[in-house]
Amino acid sequence: TLNKYFKKINDSNMPGIAQTVYDAFKLGRAAIVAGDYTLRDEQAAIIQEHMDKIIAQKAIDYLTGGAEAISSGAPREDSFHGLSEGYGFVLSLQFTSLFTNSEVNTMLNAMMDGDGFWDISADDLSNMAADISAAAGL
């Protein structure tokens, strides 16, 4: 499933990221065969950095989309699908190098405060998206 989002990001927000990751996988594999573990580790770091950005960007996209839906005055429940996706991507941030489990749980708890998606404000979502963007360098 991550590959679907990877393609979307490559086609929009981060053109060329797919080639960068592909090249890192290819060079990393060649480094393993050659026994060059320093080069392998360098390529693994490139892959991790870019995969972290994919997860962060999708969290940002869904949180921002939720904020826009709420701000538009549309029925609140119209934002729930996107906010659910955003929740999943925020949850996934703990498996990146960007956020700790504790930091992620703080964000998730903020999303669920009170009556959860019924209560969260567009400003809270926008601020969370901005924090993720800053951490990911996006």
The 10s digit of each residue's pLDDT in 60-93 is 999 999 999 999 988 888 889 989 999 999 999 9
pLDDT of residue 13: 82
pLDDT of residue 17: 87
Q: Is the pLDDT reported for residue 27 higher than 70? A: yes
AA identity, residue 73: G
Alpha helices in the chain (DSSP H): 2-11, 17-34, 37-71, 80-92, 101-112, 122-136
Mean pLDDT to the nearest integer, 9-28: 88
